[in-house]
Each structure stands twice: as structure tokens, then as C-alpha cells.
Structure 1
Amino acid sequence: MSEENVKKMIGKVFGDIANAIETGDFSDKVSIGITLMGSEHGIENILKGAELASENSSFEVILIGPEVDTNLKVVKAETEEEQHKEMERLLDEEIIQGAVTMHYNFPIGVSTVGRVITPGMGKEMYIATTTGTSSPHRVEAMVKNGLNGIITAKSMGVESPTIGILNVDGARQVERALKELNSNGYDINFAESMRSDGGAVMRGNDLLTGTPDVMIADSLTGNLLMKIFSSFNTGGSYEALGYGYGPGIGEGYKRNILILSRASGVPVVSNAIKYAAQLAKGNVLDVSQKEYKNAKKAKFEDVLKSLTKEKKKSDDSEQIIQPEKEVVTGSISGIDIMELEDAVQELWKNSIYAESGMGCTGPIVMVSESKLSKAIEILKKAGYATEGSDPC
């Protein structure tokens, strides 16, 4: 280590002491590790991000990887596999309270909550989730993603985060499940779309303006959104904005590990480290345990089981006869696209002629104006619509 770096380190130590005296915060300092190898932009890119994050910070940054010329502490590792093993060891031994890395595999049931800066209003928004898989079942995964997003936002100091559901396949089923969980006693603060028709199912406009604190999506869509938000102004090869793909959250998961892309640039590397430190100070692991416990009290597992059980199909011998056609000018929104035709069949079984269609807000079921109220009640009873479903 050069004489200049030694002086910088000594200066930083005295600066930390002075800061503690000034603020009165003498609590143990949080340490965050970051792995050096794996970036498409080279080790220097990660190193610069780490050094930037450590400037005037209230936490320590520890590098994991090959020896480099820096005033930061380095835990040696020669390969990507070895640096991940060292990272896990440091976390498990509580030498570090969080870590940032690339190309790390989480177990099924754990997924990451990204943090972006939306271009419309410059507002921060959490995207739940962006990597990993909460469940092999798409809708169940998105419901769990919602809980993971709430956990992350609360750990960051957002006491009652607003929740929105991106309008993708399964969104309406997710909405029904979360509303059921809410009615069972687990408090969920649903956001309202900025568009005039409102509702908790979010449009593309809501993505750009950051309408909800937490935007629920499937991980693949969330991953795509992270890449777009972070590199839309650089051509895609260099992620320059945001805080990275976030912490892996899941029931019983006990490591505060955040993910970067191999394309993440210096600003995102720096922000991801700060994100990890904030989560560590917010006791993200304790918050996760508490929120999952509270959700279970509200019959979370029963709600999830209702999503994954197979719906009873009509017996092949049971023929559903199409009612006589009539003019269908009344429309019902809030039906998930994956259940649209089943909803139409349900109304036929109840002697109401219906057709499927696509409205400005998504899938709709169209019926006669005179039978609209009755059709809504039938679909609610059959589980295809929520209490909040209204005519378009």
C-alpha cells in the first residue's frame, strides 16, 4: 500500500471519529463487502464504484477478490467461485452485514427487489422482483414478490409503502390474492394508478412516473425493466442509473446479498453498496422474518394454495350451451387474461350470453347492459372478479 493511501486511510479513520462525536452515533459500523471479478467493464469499474461509495460514508467497504491498489481492505480470492465462497463466509461470520455481487444463484423461493429512479418525476421506486424466482408458479411468485417488495421498502424506512401491480399476465389474480390477504388482517396500502380509471393495476405511465413505492412484476419482466431504467440513455451497454437489482428476499433467507449486472457502471456499483448498507442498518433480515410471520397470521399460505390448486374443469359430458346471442354493450374489467374464456363460459352456464374482448385497460367480458349487475355477481362468486371489479 502506498504512503499516500496510508495517509488517506488514517484521515478516514479520524474523519469517522469526528463524525461520531458530532452526530453522537457511536454504534458499531456496518461493513459491506463487494466482489471484484465478473464485470464486463473490468475490475477497475467495481473498484471505482466501491471507493466512491466509501467516501464520507458511515459504513466500511470491504473488497473481495484479487489484490488491487487501494486504501480499502481486501479479502483475497482468485476466482469468481472463490470470491462467492469468501463472501458467504464473511456474511455468516458477521464480519460483513451485507454484500454486493454479480452472477449469484439464489435458491428457489428467493428473489431480488430492485431500486430505480423513474424518469418521469425522478422518484425512486422498488421493482419486485428483478432476479431469482419466488416460486415456480407465476402468480404465486408475483404475490410473494409483493411481500418481498414491502419488506424491502419497510427496511429502507418507508413505513407504509404503496403497492402497485404491473399489468402483465396474472395481474388480476395477484390483485385478488393480495386483497384477500389484506382483508384477512395483513395491512397492504394499495396504490392508485395515475390514469383516470385508477385501480391498483398499473399502466406503463405509472412505471415512468413511479406511481407506487413498490411495483410488483414477475422476475423476468422486472429484470427487463431494471435494464431499461438503468441504461436507456447509454445505449444499453453501460448501466448508469439506479441502485442495481437489489437484495435477495425470501422466507427464512438469512443473507443480505444484493445483485449487480455485469453491465453495471460505476454509479450503480456505488449506489448498490449504499443500498446494501441502508438495508443492513434497517435490519432487513429481521423485518423479513416479522413480515412473513404477520402474513402467515393472515392466512398467507391458504391464499397461496388457492392460486396453485387446479380449478375443477367441466366434465366432458357436460355440454355448455351458448345462450342466444344479444347485443353486448356492457363490459366488465378486472378479469385476468388467463381466465378470460373461463369467465365467459361461467356466464354461459348461468344463461347469460357473453363475449370476451380487450379494452383500454386490458381484458374485458362483454354482456348485455340489462344483465351487467347480475353478471358481475356471478363472476365474483366464481372467483373471476374481485369486489372492486366494475363495469368499464
Structure 2
Amino acid sequence: MSSLEKKVAEVFMEIADGMETGQFGARPKIALTGMGSEHGEENSMAAARIAAEAGVDVYYIGTLEDPAVTTVKVADDEEGHAKMDELLESGEIDGAVTMHYPFPIGVSTVGRAITPAFGREMFIANTTGTSSGDRIEGMILNAIYGIITAKASGIENPTVGILNVDGARQCELALKELAENGYPITFAESSRADGGCVLRGNDVLRGTPDILVTDSLTGNVLTKMLAAFTSGGSFETTGYGYGPGIGKGYDKLVLIISRASGAPLVANALKFAGDLVKNNVFAIAKAEFAAAEKAGLAEAIAKRKPKPAAAAEEEVAAPPKEPCTSSIPGIEVMDLEDAVKALWKVGIYAESGMGCTGPLVMMSDANFERAAEVLKEAGYIG
């Protein structure tokens, strides 16, 4: 067959595939490392077949063969990962789905779950890896990584919510600063009566936001629970796995699944990878990072870096005690006592507390407005 005849044959194959799958253009080439699954290689190959039928050109790295996929034979899991890296580096494949990968610091994965209440899809930012050694910085970056992944999956204007964990309030302040400075963020609104973009467990089940921002350890647990709650945890049945590694300047498309992931989820992960390739995830990442940096990303992060400890902590005496009938939420638990002392310094008696939405600073009704001004000026609330 001549090179021209081969090219014509490839074009006709692409047209035939497009008519069958509804997706036209070159099929994304995605590798799957099949060894290491707790459910055996057969589980991985079943996923490869499903994804191939959906329009993904699957390179199966393992010992099994199937007419629907390209098998790259390896002896064990270690050799499989080496071969996967080799194929990525050479450009023979566009991306890969695997069960573990050593991402550098600054790169972490954005998961994609199906939430149980309404069957809504939700991106969880983030699920593995470490965006930053600093918790607040990591969550701010996770939000941007989530936006990149959602846009690269076809959502033009994703909504962003922040899970009510340590760091949520400072993350919220930083993201709202970026939005005010021109970086477009659409904030989700909690389904609970108190509203706001800091979300509760109910919102996780309902899939309230398109993107749920959290720390990677919490995100990892949520992804596992949402994927495997129907099986008692032994078999991840729903969702798309732990997602692609995203980071500034990072251009290797590697998506993570679990050793407990079942064939339907693994197939979804392969299709997820294919969508990211078709939508040029790295071009989207470059544009999003540029836009966030123009809006003051570095400054927003720097303002929330831990301050050096004072040589000797200033002693602040509490003003005369009075009934605390008003409260101000939205303060980080680690900042709670400092926020109370900030009010004491200006003569406002205050106490710390914990409500159902998180930490509170409590004061009298008469001092509420002045207390809110002081805490806002000090950067404890927005």
C-alpha cells in the first residue's frame, strides 16, 4: 500500500469511527496500564474495549490482547510504567491512565465524580498530588486547576464552590479578590438556607458546584466515597477517577485511577483523557494561568502566607465581660483566637465559638458593626 493509499484509508477509518461514535477528527491515543488492579487485568481490558468503542484509540500496556486495542506487552507493573513514560515522551500517545504516578510538587489531580442525589457530575479539586506545601496557597491553586479541567471538559463557565474545611475562608477571600481584579470566576451558591460559596456536606451529595475546591487529602477521600459507596468500598463503580495532573508549565497528560476502580470507571477515565486531548487542555491551562496572574494571583497568595512568629507574643487583656448575643462567621479556625484578641485590642469584648457552619467570633449586638469593620480591616473576613 502506498503512502497516499494509507492516508486515504486512515481518513475513511476516521469518518467511519465518527459516524459510529458521533465524534469526528483524529482519535485520541490514550495508554492504559492494566496491571496492578485489585480486580485483575481482565477488568482493565474490559474498560479498554468500552473506551475503544466510544472513540478512543487505546494502547493497552499489559499482557492481554484484544482486536479493539493496541497491546504493548510488558512483564510487570514496573515495566509497564516505564513503557508508559517512554510512549508519552516520544509523543506516540497523547495521554495515559494509570494507577499511580509521582507528580512533582506544584502538580495535582482534578477528579471527576458523579454525585448521588441528582446524578450530577462534579469536579473535585484536588484529589492526589500536592499543589503547594502551604495549605491556603494549595487550595487557591486547586481552584484554578479545577477551572482548567472543567473548561477542557467542555464546560465554558463552570461554577466554583469551596468545601468548608480549614483554609476555606481565606481561599474564598483570595478567589474573590481575583474575580474583582478581572479573573472570571462564577461562584456557586450553597443549597442550604445560609447560602454562600463555602459549601457543606449536603452540597457534595447534591453536586451543587461544577467544581468543588478542597485540599487533596479530603478530595481523595470524597472521590473514593462517591465512586464506591454502592459497593461497600471494594469496587469503584461510578465517576471518572482522580483525574489529570495539572500545574503551571506541566505538559504531560497523566490521569489517575485506583486499584479498586472497576471497568466502567476506568473506561470513563479513558474517555475523560480523550476529551482533554480534543479540547487542548494545556492551551487552556496556559491561558488560565496567564489570566489569573494578570489579576494578581501572586499577590493574593502572598497576603495569605503564614506570618513569622513574633519574638514574644503580645499580651492582650480582655475588656470587661458582657453578654455575647451576636456572632460573625467565616473565620479560619487557626485564626480564631487572634481574631478575638484583635477585637480586645480596640476595646471590644469578644469570645470564640463554633457553630454548625464553622468557627465564630461572638460579641454584643452593640459592638457587632464595629467588630465586623475591625475583622475586615485585619483580613480575617471579606
Within-5 A mapping of 1:219-368 = 219-310=216-307, 313=310, 315-316=312-313, 318-368=314-364
1:145 paired to 2:142: yes
Q: Residue 308 of structure 1: SS of its match in structure 2? A: coil
Equivalent-residue separation in structure 1 for 2:20 and 2:104 (angstroms): 43
| CA distance in structure 1 between the aligned counterparts of 2:273 and 2:91, rounded to whole angstroms | 14
| Matches of 1:273 and 1:306, distance apart in 2 | 39
Which deviates the most, 208-217 or 66-75? Answer: 66-75
**Contact 2:14-2:24 within 8 A present in 1 as well:** no
Which amino acid in 2 is paired with 1:50?
Answer: A
Query: Matched residue of 1:331: which SS?
Result: strand
Q: Residues of 2 paired with 1:26 and 1:210: CA distance?
A: 31
Structure 1 residues 60-69 or 207-216, which shifts more? Answer: 60-69
CA–CA distance in structure 1, aligned partners of residues 217 and 209 of structure 2: 19
Residue 87 of structure 1 pairs with residue 49 of structure 2? no
Instruction: Output the aligned Cα RMSD.
Output: 2.0
Pick closer, same or farther for the CA change 1:227–1:25 going to 2, 3 Å: closer
Question: 2:367 aligns to what SS in structure 1?
Answer: helix
- Post-superposition Cα deviations, 1:274-321, rounded to whole Å, max 9, x if no partner, equal 1110111111111111111111111111211222241664844x4311
- Structure 2: tracts of 5 or more residues without a match: 1-9
**Is 1:129 equivalent to 2:126 in the alignment?**
yes
Q: Identity, % of aligned pairs?
A: 54
Match for 2:377: what amino acid? Answer: K
Distance 1:98 1:177 in 2: 32
Deviations 1:224-274 (A, max 9, x none): 001100111101111111111100001111111100000001111111101
Q: Does 1:376 align with 2:366?
A: no
Aligned length: 373
SS at match of 2:321: coil
TM-score, normalisation: structure 1:
0.91
Contact 1:108 1:135 in 2 (8 A): yes
User: 1:16, 1:58 within 8 Å by CA — same for their partners in 2?
Assistant: no
1:337 deviates by 1.1
CA distance in 2, matches of 1:15, 1:264: 31
Q: What amino acid sits opposite 2:138 in the alignment? A: A
> One-letter code of the match for 2:317?
I
The equivalent position to 2:98 in structure 1, one of 101, 112, 120, is: 101
Cα gap change, 1:52/1:19 in structure 2, threshold over 3 Å: closer, same or farther? Answer: closer
Describe the SS at the equivalent of 1:370: coil
Shift of residue 358, structure 1, vs aligned partner: 1.1
2:6 aligned residue: none
Amino acid at match of 1:357: G
Q: CA deviation at 1:69?
A: 4.7
Report the equivalent of 1:390. none
Query: Of the candidates 113, 116, 135, which is equivalent to residue 113 of structure 2?
Result: 116
- In structure 1, what is the equivalent of residue 7 of structure 2? none
Aligned to 1:217: 214
**Which letter maps to 2:365?**
E
SS in 2 for 1:211: coil
Q: 1:156 to 1:354 in 2, by over 3 A?
A: same
